[in-house]
Amino acid sequence: MVPERVHTDCQHAAPRRTRLAPSPTGALHLGNARTFAINWAIARKQDWTIVLRIEDLDHPRVKPETIDQAREDLAWLGLTWDEEVPLQSACLQPYVGALRQLGASGRIFRCDRSRRDIAQAQSAPHEREHGLHYDPSLRPDDAGTAVAAPEQSATWRFMVAEDDITVNDAFAGSSTFDLSRVGGDFPVWTASGGPAYQLAVAVDDARHGITDVIRGDDLLPSAARQQAIQDALNLPTPQWWHVPLVRGADGRRLAKRHGDTRLATFREAGVPAEQVLGLMGYWCGMTEAPTPMTAADFLAGLDVTAIPSHDITLTLEHIAWLTG
């Protein structure tokens, strides 16, 4: 039986396109590998086109050596792609165009406030739990008026409406966000002269013809922000698929503090890719215990309805399975 949270109907005219979008701010780890393996297998099962898009705008956090490493890690696992688009940093013109369009329609304002000012204006404690919240009381008086040519050396924020935004997700079901209460006005452009993540992704998913976005569910609130931008720019909203994350025993997102879980480390230590994919398959509900798998086995075995709807906790046994 197909659970309700999984939509199997085709909501877009063929051909469908998805993207693998690693950020070269660090090496890919086991959690990234699971999300990418799921993304790849869902796409390959249905003959979608897979686009590789390296998201390298997050300066200065980008580590250039992890760009090639990401390609090598994916290829090692057998997670192939059909097209690679240029690095986001190669041409900022599409993002500048989108910024101007948002400026012309009065959807953004220039923000000269420091993080400290913004943090100090946060009143309700529940807002603080979700990170920095830009309170509408901080908006400059001219917020909402059209700006013909937004300066690219300033921070620009998107004015969120006091409205519920519903994110319809093929995996996570539907959720509703009132961005005016969660995070508030968010940056679309940074003072370093480039687009912020939310704008870059909304623009790129549209111009690369992406119909299906499959990624970690830590980005579910970002989907609401991206929908707000897509609506403002008249861009289509892709079908979202947000899948639970792999976490450490402390419940936090997989990171250095949980030990070295980088794919490159296992690869260089001679761990076979089949061992890693076996763990991925186990984490996707394919087997009762990890069993070596090729990418073809993983593809054949993936049943979206069997992927656990809860987070996965990385344990010492999992690492022992890899390192034997």
Q: How far is the CB of 293 from ligand GLU (least distance, A)?
A: 24
Q: How far is the CB of 26 from ligand GLU (least distance, A)?
A: 9
Site string for ligand GLU, 199-238 (x = CB under 6 A): --x-------------x---x-------------------
Q: Which is nearer to ligand GLU, 201 or 224 (CB)?
A: 201
Residue 323 phi, psi dihedral angles, 5° rounding: -95, -5
Report the alpha-carbon distance of residue 39 to residue 143 in Å, rounded: 39
**Could you please report the per-residue DSSP string of 37-90?**
HHHHHHHHHTT-EEEE-----STTT--THHHHHHHHHHHHHT---SEEPPPGGG
Q: Which is nearer to ligand GLU, 35 or 275 (CB)?
A: 35
Which of 80, 71, 79, 83 shows the shortest CA–CA distance to 264?
71
Ranges within 173-202 binding ligand GLU (CB under 6 A): 201
Q: Tell me the site size for ligand GLU, rule CB under 6 A.
A: 7
Report the alpha-carbon distance of residue 272 to residue 194 in Å, rounded: 40
Q: How far is the CB of 5 from ligand GLU (least distance, A)?
A: 20
Q: How far is the CB of 215 from ligand GLU (least distance, A)?
A: 4
* Chosen residue from 16, 17, 18, 21 binding ligand GLU by CB under 6 A: 21
* Chosen residue from 27, 31, 55, 322 binding ligand GLU by CB under 6 A: 55
The token duo for 270 is 């001679």
Report the alpha-carbon distance of residue 15 to residue 47 in Å, rounded: 8
Q: Which is nearer to ligand GLU, 110 or 208 (CB)?
A: 208
DSSP 3-state of 20: strand
Q: How far is the CB of 20 from ligand GLU (least distance, A)?
A: 9
* Chosen residue from 16, 18, 23, 103 binding ligand GLU by CB under 6 A: 23
Q: How far is the CB of 40 from ligand GLU (least distance, A)?
A: 14
Q: Is 278 in the site for ligand GLU (CB under 6 A)?
A: no
> Alpha carbon of 202 to those of 13, 65, 160, 207, 235: distances in Å?
20, 26, 16, 9, 8
Beta bridge partners of 108: 158
The contacts of residue 131 (CB under 8 Å, 6+ apart) are: 183
* Chosen residue from 17, 22, 118, 212 binding ligand GLU by CB under 6 A: 22
Q: Is 74 in the site for ligand GLU (CB under 6 A)?
A: no
Q: Is 245 in the site for ligand GLU (CB under 6 A)?
A: no
Sign, Cα dihedral of 232, 235, 239, 240: negative
Judged by CB under 6 A, the stretch of 1-9, 18-26, 43-51, 246-254 that binds ligand GLU is: 18-26
Q: Are strands 312-313 and 173-178 parallel, antiparallel or unpaired?
A: unpaired
Alpha carbon 148 to chain centroid, angstroms: 31
Judged by CB under 6 A, the stretch of 21-29, 172-180, 244-252, 314-322 that binds ligand GLU is: 21-29
Residues in contact with ligand GLU by CB under 6 A are 21-23, 55, 201, 215, 219
